Chains A and B, each alone.
Chain A
C-alpha cells in the first residue's frame, strides 16, 4: 500500500466527524438535554473542524479534485502556515477537540469519529505527509497571434521541379512539341 496518502481519508473522515458533531450538538442544545452546553460546544467544535477540513490538500501524486468553492477557505487555512500544514498538530487538535464532546451521549458518536480521524492523521504525519494548498493555475490566455511564430524561413514543401513544370506549361499554353524526354521518371501526382 505504498501509494496511499492517508491524509486524504483522514480528511474525509474528519469532515464527516465535524458534521456529526454539529448534528449531535444541535440535538442536545435544541432538546435542552442535561448539560446541553456541551452540545453547544460540540456545534462550535464541529464548525471549526469543518472549516479546517473543507479545503482538500494537494496530493503529491496526480491531480486533486477540489471541493466546490474551496478556494476561499484555502486562503484562510494557508494563513496559519505550519499550524495547518503539519498533520501532527492536526491530529492532536482533533483529539483535543473531540474529548469534551465525549461526555454527552448525543455527541459521543462525533467524538469517536473525530478520534478515528485523528488517528489516521497521526498515521499520515508519521509517513511524512503534509497539507499543501491547491493553487489555481494562472490562466493561459490564448493570445491572438501568439502562436504565429517567426515567418517561415523555408519555402513550403513543393513537388519536384519536373512536376512543377507541367501545370505552368499547360497554363501558359506552351506547346510541348511532341513527347518530352524526361531525364528521370515522373510520377503522376494526384492534385
Chain B
C-alpha cells in the first residue's frame, strides 16, 4: 500500500521514468521504421534495425540517469536543509539506491534487446556479402564496391559466417566496445548482488569501478557510424518508393541514380557527458571532504558491542537526526559507512554510536583500542574522514506542544539526537521550543540494544528530577521478544523500584503496545491539543499509527488532533 507521502513521491518518479522509457522506445522505433531515409536499410535488415535503435535511445537515457542518484553531496546541496521532506538515513539512502538499481536493471534489459537485434543485423549483413541471402539484399550490399560509391551494408569483407560475424566484432569499434562494455556491465551486476555486497564489500566496490570503462566505451561505441541511411541529397534525386523495384536499372536511368548512404553521427556522448562531469565533481568533493581533519575526542565503549565515537571537525554543522558517512583508512581505504548522528546540535562535538557487527566495525573497534583495558593516548586514535551531514532536519518536532515519538529497534538512534536537543533547548529556554510533553515509545526485540540508550534516558531522568520536571518525558520501553527465563526473572523483580533491565524508574513493558489504549489515554490527558506523532520504524507500524491518528482525532477544529508526520522519518 502506497500510504506515505514518501512512497507517493517515489511512485510518481518511477512512473514518469517508465513513461519516458516507453516514449523513447516507441519514438525511436518509428524514426527507423517509417521514414524513407532507412528504406533500403530496412530492406536489408527488416525490423531488426528499429529494434536495435529503440533500446539504444533508452540506453542513452538510462545511462545518463544512473550516475545521478549516487551523487549524494550534490543531491544534498540541491535539497538544502529545508524541512519539507525530511527522511531518515536508511529511507533516504534506500530511495536513491533503489532508483539506481532500477535504472541498472533497465540498462541490462535494453542492452539485451539491443545486442540480440544487432546479432541478427550482423548475421544478415555478413550473409548478404557472401551471397547467402536473397538477391535484393545481395545487390544492395554490392553498392559501395565500385569507386565513388558509398556503402549501405557496413560489412565490406566477404568472409562467411560465423567467422564473418566474429571478424566484424573484433575489427569494428562498435563490436569491440560492445563486447567489452557488456562484459563490464555483467561483472558489475554479478558483484552487486546482495550476498556479495553485504559480505565482500571490496569485491563489489572495486568491480563497480568498471563503470569507468563502461562509460568511456559507451561514448565511443558509435564513432564508426555503421548504422547507415540514405543521405538527404540522395533522397531528392532517388526516391526509394519509386525506384526500389528496379534495382538493376540504378545508375542507368535518370530518376534512379545509385543512392548514397552515410552513417549516423554518434549521439550518446551528448547524453552522458553532463552526468559524467557531475559524478567527477561528486568524487572530488568526497575526496576533499575526506581530507578535512577530523579529531576523535572521545571513545566510549558501551556494553553489548557498541562504541561511541565523539568527534570534532572544523566547520561541521549539524541538525537533529542527520547522518554522516565515516571512513577509517586504517581499517579500509575504500569503505564509507553511514551512521546516524546521536549528538545534539547544541553540543560542541558530534557523536555516533556504532554496533560492532561486521568486519569494518570490528576493525574500527580494534583501531580505537577498545579491546585494550588501559587508557589510550589521543594521538594513537586512528585518523577518520567524515562526509556529510546528510539528510534533512526534523525541526517539526519542536513546534508541537505534545509529541509521541516512536522508535522501533535501531530506529531509536535519531531520537537520541532529538531528545538531547530538546533537553538543551528546554534548559536554555530556547524560544522556538513549544514542547511541553514527550511520550516516547521504544520497541525492541531484546535487551542488548538498550544499554547506551538507557544510559541516555537515565541521564535525562536525573536532570529532569533536578529541574523538578519529571513529567516532561514519559517513556515506555516495550520488549517485543522475550523468553521464559526472562519472564520469570521479571516476575520475581516486578515489585522493585527500578526496572531490572534498564535501571530506569519507569518500568519496561512486554509485548507490543496497545496503541488504541495509548492514543486514548494521551488524547484524554491533552484535550484540545495538536499532538505530533513521529515514527522511525517499519512501514507496517506506520500504517498502524496512521490509522490510530485518524481514528483518535476529533473531527471538529477543537478537540484533540493527532498528526502523523508522514514526511519525517
Question: Within 8 Å CB of A38, what residues of B?
Answer: 162
B490 nearest CB across to chain A (Å): 14
Q: B186 an interface residue at 8 Å Cβ cutoff?
A: yes
A167 nearest CB across to chain B (Å): 14
Q: Are A4 and B162 in contact (CB under 8 A)?
A: no
- Whole-angstrom CA separation of A103 from B196 in the bound complex: 32
CB-contacts of A28-62 with B (<8 A): 28, 31, 33-35, 38, 56, 59, 62
The closest CB in chain B to the CB of A157 belongs to B492
- Whole-angstrom CA separation of A189 from B160 in the bound complex: 100
Q: Are B169 and A33 in contact (CB under 8 A)?
A: no
The closest CB in chain B to the CB of A189 belongs to B495
Of B90-98, B120-128, B415-423, B455-463, the one with at least 4 CB within 8 A of chain A: B120-128
Q: Are A8 and B200 in contact (CB under 8 A)?
A: yes
- Whole-angstrom CA separation of A157 from B491 in the bound complex: 11
CB-contacts of A150-191 with B (<8 A): 157, 189-191
Q: Are B162 and A105 in contact (CB under 8 A)?
A: yes
Q: Are A113 and B116 in contact (CB under 8 A)?
A: no
- Whole-angstrom CA separation of A9 from B200 in the bound complex: 9
A140 nearest CB across to chain B (Å): 14
Question: Within 8 Å CB of A103, what residues of B?
Answer: 162, 166
- Whole-angstrom CA separation of A13 from B186 in the bound complex: 8
Q: How many residues of B contact A (CB 8 A)?
A: 36
Q: Are A31 and B120 in contact (CB under 8 A)?
A: yes
Q: B146 an interface residue at 8 Å Cβ cutoff?
A: no
Q: B194 an interface residue at 8 Å Cβ cutoff?
A: yes
Q: Are A113 and B112 in contact (CB under 8 A)?
A: no
The closest CB in chain B to the CB of A10 belongs to B190
Q: B203 an interface residue at 8 Å Cβ cutoff?
A: yes
- Whole-angstrom CA separation of A106 from B165 in the bound complex: 9
The listed residue with most A CB atoms (<10 A of its CB), out of B116, B189, B492, is: B116
Which of these, A9, A34, A56, contacts B162 with CB under 8 Å? A34
Given contacts A8-B199, A9-B203, A105-B169, contact A16 B123 (CB under 8 A): no
- Whole-angstrom CA separation of A189 from B119 in the bound complex: 87
A33 nearest CB across to chain B (Å): 5
The closest CB in chain B to the CB of A17 belongs to B186
Q: B183 an interface residue at 8 Å Cβ cutoff?
A: yes
The closest CB in chain B to the CB of A65 belongs to B195
B1 nearest CB across to chain A (Å): 25
Q: Are B195 and A112 in contact (CB under 8 A)?
A: no
The listed residue with most A CB atoms (<10 A of its CB), out of B168, B202, B203, is: B203
Question: Within 8 Å CB of A65, what residues of B?
Answer: 194-195
Q: Are B169 and A3 in contact (CB under 8 A)?
A: no
Known: A12-B193, A13-B186. 14 other contacts (CB 8 A): A1-B202, A3-B359, A9-B203, A16-B189, A20-B186, A23-B116, A34-B127, A34-B160, A34-B162, A65-B195, A105-B123, A108-B166, A109-B183, A116-B183
**What 7 A-B pairs are tightest by C-beta distance, nearest first?**
A105-B165, A34-B161, A12-B190, A4-B200, A13-B190, A104-B162, A106-B119
- Whole-angstrom CA separation of A35 from B126 in the bound complex: 14
Q: A89 an interface residue at 8 Å Cβ cutoff?
A: no
Question: Within 8 Å CB of A147, what residues of B?
Answer: 484
Q: Are B119 and A27 in contact (CB under 8 A)?
A: yes
A-B contact pairs, 5 of them (CB 8 A): A3-B199, A4-B199, A105-B122, A105-B165, A147-B484
Question: Within 8 Å CB of B182, what residues of A?
Answer: 109
- Whole-angstrom CA separation of A140 from B213 in the bound complex: 52
- Whole-angstrom CA separation of A5 from B112 in the bound complex: 30
Q: How many residues of A contact B (CB 8 A)?
A: 39
What is A's interface to B at a CB cutoff of 8 Å?
A: 1, 3-5, 8-9, 12-13, 15-16, 20, 23-24, 27-28, 31, 33-35, 38, 56, 59, 62, 64-65, 103-106, 108-109, 112-113, 116, 147, 157, 189-191
- Whole-angstrom CA separation of A28 from B166 in the bound complex: 14
Which of these, A12, A116, A157, contacts B195 with CB under 8 Å? A12
The listed residue with most A CB atoms (<10 A of its CB), out of B132, B191, B193, is: B193
Q: Are B190 and A16 in contact (CB under 8 A)?
A: yes
Mask, B528-546, CB within 8 Å of A = 1, is 0000000000000000000
B191 nearest CB across to chain A (Å): 6
Question: Within 8 Å CB of A64, what residues of B?
Answer: 195
Q: Are A112 and B179 in contact (CB under 8 A)?
A: yes
- Whole-angstrom CA separation of A34 from B130 in the bound complex: 12
Question: Within 8 Å CB of A8, what residues of B?
Answer: 195-196, 199-200
Q: B187 an interface residue at 8 Å Cβ cutoff?
A: yes
The closest CB in chain B to the CB of A31 belongs to B120
Q: Are A23 and B112 in contact (CB under 8 A)?
A: yes
Which of these, A4, A27, A109, contacts B202 with CB under 8 Å? A4
The closest CB in chain A to the CB of B127 belongs to A34
The closest CB in chain A to the CB of B485 belongs to A147
The listed residue with most A CB atoms (<10 A of its CB), out of B162, B194, B202, B495, is: B162
Given contacts A8-B200, A13-B187, contact A33 B116 (CB under 8 A): no
Question: Within 8 Å CB of A189, what residues of B?
Answer: 495
Q: Are B166 and A113 in contact (CB under 8 A)?
A: no
Q: Are B190 and A5 in contact (CB under 8 A)?
A: no
Question: Within 8 Å CB of B179, what residues of A?
Answer: 108-109, 112
- Whole-angstrom CA separation of A23 from B162 in the bound complex: 17
The closest CB in chain A to the CB of B202 belongs to A1
